[in-house]
Structure 1
């Protein structure tokens, strides 16, 4: 048995790790936004070029971490085929996100980062032919209203109900969430068989290869200002790599339900950073949207707490949860579970909007 004092200390540290992971992940919305816009002070980076750089750097970051895991020689033709499809889907999702962010706001992007929850749920219902329970409809509706109806409706009103650049940007970001949800479904095959760090490394390089192929094919200029490199490194290493590592450490210490709930604050950090760093306006409607989304997520998480503990020793539970949830975090593990569990897994995954 773990001493009570030591257990409390571990739990406290777990909270810190998850909060830091959420904050680091939120940096991606804020740091990438200025690089994607026309500015007299810096070069506008093409979204495809930025996606290539993030995936390539992330692949390098995970290479030493994956060194002692499954050897590449153990991957069969079907495994490589799936990872190729996954890579194309992921890079398409990130590029779509960046194109949307270039005309939308970082505040909206932070709120829309939860859109994957909805699409993952819809896909799960279609694939597994399951339906929402009555108790799930209320929090599900809260998430939809807060995440889509209010932000898009507000932008439509400001654009006289026309599809202006901002509205199109909003729709592109939401569509990127759909692509990430599709990616989760595809990732099940390799995620059940191989270590998540190895899969992350390979998929990151596949994404980078797909992006550079598009760059070469369409002769897209690799225009990058040297002053922008630190920001790209921060997104790649801190916003993706370190965020994932802190997430997994915290997950092992405090369990899945509390981890999922805390990590959902990524959207809150994104909105705060957008106001502080980018000086974007944070309106009352933005706050209402966040409250609705987080309240809906909390209600779903609260309901999941009943089934969090499985049979087995404490050590077995920790190891099993860490292994499965680490795969979920990177979108590589999607077991056939109930609809609420799928929502939990998707919320864990949605914070990872960077590479891999």
Structure 2
């Protein structure tokens, strides 16, 4: 395999920092959650359009009716994931919201268990129990702060379930399409879904001050196009587990950024609960047998 021009961990670190900024940008906007999500998706599609139409339009012919159905469902779930997650940030802290969204691997396992009949391992059950305990601690602490904070936590959990469903429906289609084409199609469906959502809700497409447009654009460029693209680039040289573990640092980065930029402080329950959640997810995604073999090779 060819050697990367730079160490893969460098793009991964930049990617984590990029996705961690997502919650900060959302907090900085004053627009409704649906509007913020709509412009995030719309600007992403617009920026991707030249590359897609110049090099990848031929791949659209590969899409069957089933592919279109699954890609559309994925786009719809992605749209409502953003709506609920952005809305959660209006009620709870950046730290609580982003930690709860990192429960995605466990939601994914639940989905594969119920839909694909994958077996439950002891490690999975233990990691799930630990992560749920951490979530309860966060929710309990936020409930003591206010009922609104607990409501925000609930929205973040539902948003996590929705993004997992988006991935489950999209993984089959993704196998037959390039990253650019798959992302363009799903983001396009998501944009259309959000457009009609805003019409039904009666929310305003504008006008907005220049600062709002800046946050919308930054949401599209940094978390959407830069962060996830860097993760996908790094997958050529590192395992999925490395990326999964790296993404666990998103809540930590978001919490630190929220402290310095938004002045959000962490409560004891958030720190303890968040740490427990991350410990549970780490237990779930880490392949200890591979790590053991790796160190045995080093000793040899």
TM-score of the alignment, normalized to the shorter chain, above 0.5 = yes
Q: How far did 1:307 drift?
A: 9.3
Which of the two has greater helix per residue?
Answer: 2
Cα RMSD (Å) of the superposition?
A: 2.4
Match of 2:140 in 1: 153
Match of 1:296 in 2: 280
Q: Does 1:171 align with 2:158?
A: no
Partner Cα separation in structure 2 for residue 167 and residue 50 of structure 1: 22
Partner Cα separation in structure 2 for residue 190 and residue 308 of structure 1: 34
For 1:312-323, list aligned pairs within 5 A.
Answer: none
Q: How far did 1:13 drift?
A: 1.8
Any idea what SS the aligned residue of 1:130 has?
Answer: coil
TM-score by length of 2: 0.87
CA contact (8 A) 1:107 1:271 kept: yes
TM-score by length of 1: 0.75
Q: Please identify, of 16-25 and 81-90, the stretch whose mean Cα deviation from structure 2 is larger.
A: 81-90
Q: How far did 1:303 drift?
A: 2.4
Partner Cα separation in structure 2 for residue 76 and residue 256 of structure 1: 28
Q: Does 1:17 align with 2:3?
A: no
Q: CA, structure 1 residues 285+73, in 2 after alignment: closer, same or farther (shift >3 Å)?
A: same
Identify the match of residue 239 of structure 2 among 255, 261, 265: 255
Match of 1:116 in 2: 104
Q: For structure 2, which runs of at least 5 residues remain unmatched after alignment?
A: 294-300
Q: For structure 1, which runs of at least 5 residues remain unmatched after alignment?
A: 36-43, 310-356
Q: How far did 1:95 drift?
A: 0.7
Q: CA, structure 1 residues 217+68, in 2 after alignment: closer, same or farther (shift >3 Å)?
A: same
Flag as ranges the 4+ runs of structure 1 deviating above 3 A. 64-67
Q: Does 1:76 align with 2:64?
A: yes
Aligned residues: 290
Match of 1:352 in 2: none
Match of 1:329 in 2: none
Identify the match of residue 122 of structure 2 among 118, 130, 134: 134
Identify the match of residue 279 of structure 1 among 260, 263, 266: 263
CA contact (8 A) 1:151 1:286 kept: yes
For 1:1-356, list aligned pairs within 5 A.
Answer: 10=4, 13-35=7-29, 44-66=30-52, 67-69=54-56, 70-146=58-134, 148-159=135-146, 164-223=147-206, 224-303=208-287, 306=290
CA contact (8 A) 1:62 1:200 kept: no
Q: CA, structure 1 residues 303+291, in 2 after alignment: closer, same or farther (shift >3 Å)?
A: same
- Per-residue displacement from partner, 1:17-72 (whole Å, max 9, x unpaired)? 1111011001011110132xxxxxxxx30111111101111112333443423432
Partner Cα separation in structure 2 for residue 198 and residue 305 of structure 1: 36
Partner Cα separation in structure 2 for residue 273 and residue 166 of structure 1: 19
Any idea what SS the aligned residue of 1:281 has?
Answer: coil
Any idea what SS the aligned residue of 1:136 has?
Answer: helix
